[in-house]
Amino acid sequence: MTVATSPLNLLRTQEIPNLHYSATRERFDASWKAPLSTLLGLGRAAGADFVEFFLERNSYISCLAEDDAITSISPRLMTGAGVRVFRGKADCYVSTNDLSFNGLKAALEKGLSIMGLSLPGPTSHIPEINLELLRDYATVRGKEAWLAASSSMQEMGDVLLAANGALAQKASHVQARRAAYFRDWQEVLVASSDGTFARDIRLTQSVGFNLLCADGEHRASINQRDGNTSDPAFLRTWNYEDAAAKIAESAGKMLYADYVESGSYPIIMANHFGGVIFHEACGHLLETTQIERGTTPFIDKKGEKIAHESLTAWDEGLSEDEFGTIDMDDEGMPAQRTLLIENGILKNFLSDRAGSVRTGHPRTGSGRRQSYTYAAASRMRNTYIAPGDYSLDELFASVDKGIYCKKMGGGSVGPTGQFNFAVDEAYLIENGQITKPLKGATLIGEAKEIMQKVSMCSNDLSLAPGFCGSISGSVYVTVGQPHIKVDSITVGGR
C-alpha cells in the first residue's frame, strides 16, 4: 500500500481518496493488514466504539444419488465481507461482495451512518489500528492443501452410487434409496479495532443415507449421516458397507413394528444423536442471544441448580475432527472449552462479543455465523452431556416398563424450551430388557422440567454431526451424550 501523507506519516481524512493498495486477491494474508488497519482507524475516528471486518471465500459442492443415478450436483463459489460497528451497546452489520478498498469503505460508511455517525472532517487525523501479527491457523495447521486434496466430482458420484448399491443389497422392501454428500471449504479473515488479525481455513464434509422401505401398509424411513472437519480423504475412506448394513437393519426392524401407546414413561435415550434434545431444548437457552431477548428461563440462574445432580454438560470447539470444531470463532477468538452445567449447577453461558457487551457474560469463543452475510452471534459448537458413572446394564435394569429411544428424528422447540421430537427407532423395555420394536413415538416436554429428570448417565459418550439454525444462519455443530435415563417424559403415540 502506498500512502501520500505528511512527513510524520499521519494520515488525514482528505488523503483517503488517493490511497492505493494491492492486497493478495487469491488468498487472505498479511498484505490485507494495511488497508484494514486504515479502515478500522477511520471507523474509530468517526466515533465508533468498536469496528470489525469479516472477510470470506467459500467453495461448496453437494452431490445426490437417488437409487442408481446421480440426480443433482450443486457447486457454489462465494466471496464477500461484512463490517460490524458498535456504539455503546448498540451495533449494526453491513455486508458487501466488493472487496476493493472503496467497496469496504462504502460498507463501513453505511454502517457508521446507521449508527448516527459520519466521517470526520477533511483535516482530521486517522489513527491506523495496530493489528497483531497475522495469527494464521491455516498455515500453522497445514490447511492450505485441503481443498485440492478433497474428492473430485467424479469420485463423489462413484462413491455415492456404490453406497446406494450396497444399500440395495442389504435392505428389503426398498421403496427409495438416497445417498448425499457435501463439501464446504471456507477461508476467513477477521480484523477488528481491538487489534485482532486472524485467518483460518475450514473444511466441513458430510455424507449419509436416507432409506424408505414399504410393504403394503407398513412403512419405515431411516436416516443416517456422518460428518468430519479437517480430513480431505473423508469421503474416500467412508465405510459405506458398514453404514448401509446398520441402516438396513434399523429399517427392517421398524417396518413391522407396533405403534407405541401414548402415555408417561421412563425412557433410556441412546448416546450419539440422542444429544439433539439437550442441544435444542437446553443448549439454545444458554446462549446470550436468549438472555438479550429475555426468552430463557435460566436468565438469572447462574450458580443455581437447573438440572439433576447426575448431569454435567460441556460446549467446546476443540474435539478432533468433530463437526463443531473450530480453531477460532468468527470473531477471531481462539476456541475454548466451556463448562455449561456441573452436577446440575449452571456454571456459564455461551457468549459472543455483542452478547458480552449487552449481558456482561464473558466471551467464550462462541461467535459464529453461516457466512459473511450474517453478523456473528453466540452459537454452540460441540455440545454434549458428559459421561457418568453407570453402566448401560444398570440403566436398563432400573426400568420396569419404559421405552428405549435408539435413534432420534426431527422435531421442534419453542422459544423457552418446550419441545417435541420424533423417535425414528424405539423399543419397549420390560423388566430391564428390550423386548419389541416400536414406532410412532414422539417425546414431548419442557427443558427446565426434563433436565431435573435425567437421573442416570452411562459411561459411553458418543458424538454426532448436526446442523443448527439461528439468528446468524445455519452452522455446523456436534451433539452428543452417553446413554441417559429420563425418569418420566410424555410420549405421544397412538
CATH (domain of 170): 3.30.2290.10
Count Cβ atoms below 10 Å from residue 16 Cβ, excluding itself.
Answer: 18
Residues 323 and 251 reside in one and the same domain: no
Residues 168 and 106 reside in one and the same domain: no
Residues 254 and 338 reside in one and the same domain: no
Q: Cβ(270)–Cβ(451) under 8 Å?
A: no
Residues 122 and 205 reside in one and the same domain: no
Cα–Cα nearest to 21, from 9, 36, 8: 36
Domain final residue pick, 106, 136, 166: 136
- 3-class secondary structure, 464: strand
**CA atoms of 331 and 191, how far apart (whole Å):** 8
Q: What percent of the chain has pLDDT over 90?
A: 90
Place of cell 455424507: 207
413 assigned to some structural domain:
yes
Residues 156 and 252 reside in one and the same domain: yes
- For residue 287, what is the DSSP state? B
Residues 125 and 153 reside in one and the same domain: no
Q: And the C-alpha cell for 380?
A: 454452540
Cβ partners under 8 Å of residue 448, min gap 6: 297, 298, 306, 417
Top-ranked range on mean pLDDT: pick from 119-128, 276-285, 375-384: 375-384
Residues 240 and 318 reside in one and the same domain: no
69 assigned to some structural domain:
no
67 assigned to some structural domain:
no
- For residue 174, what is the DSSP state? E
1 assigned to some structural domain:
no
Q: And the C-alpha cell for 194?
A: 481491538
Domain final residue pick, 214, 235, 258: 258
pLDDT at site 1: 40
The pLDDT tens digits of the residues spanning 183-209 come to 999 999 999 999 999 999 999 999 999
Helical pair 240-255 and 153-170, crossing angle rounded to 10 deg: 40
Quick one: average pLDDT of 381-388? 98
Q: And the C-alpha cell for 50?
A: 468498536
Statement: residue 214 has pLDDT above 90: yes
330 assigned to some structural domain:
yes
Residues 281 and 253 reside in one and the same domain: no
141 assigned to some structural domain:
no
pLDDT at site 127: 87
Rg (CA), the chain: 25
**CA atoms of 177 and 129, how far apart (whole Å):** 55
Residues 267 and 358 reside in one and the same domain: yes
* Conformation bin of residue 206: beta by default, left when phi > 0, alpha when psi is -120 to 50: beta
- What are 235-241's contacts with CB under 8 Å, separation 24+? 235/150, 235/151, 235/155, 235/156, 235/159, 235/181, 235/183, 235/205, 235/207, 236/151, 236/155, 236/159, 238/159, 238/163, 238/207, 240/159, 240/162, 240/163, 240/166, 240/179, 240/207, 241/166
pTM: 0.94
Residues 406 and 369 reside in one and the same domain: yes
- 3-class secondary structure, 177: strand
pLDDT at site 18: 74
Domain final residue pick, 109, 136, 163: 136
- From 119-123, 176-180, 394-398, the region with the lowest mean pLDDT: 119-123
104 assigned to some structural domain:
yes
5 assigned to some structural domain:
no
Name the domain count of the chain: 3
Residues 252 and 267 reside in one and the same domain: no
Residues 394 and 442 reside in one and the same domain: yes
Quick one: average pLDDT of 277-300? 95
From residue 88, give the alpha-carbon distance in Å to each of 92, 287, 357, 361, 380: 11, 21, 8, 16, 26
User: Which residue range is the domain that position 86 belongs to?
Assistant: 13-60+76-136
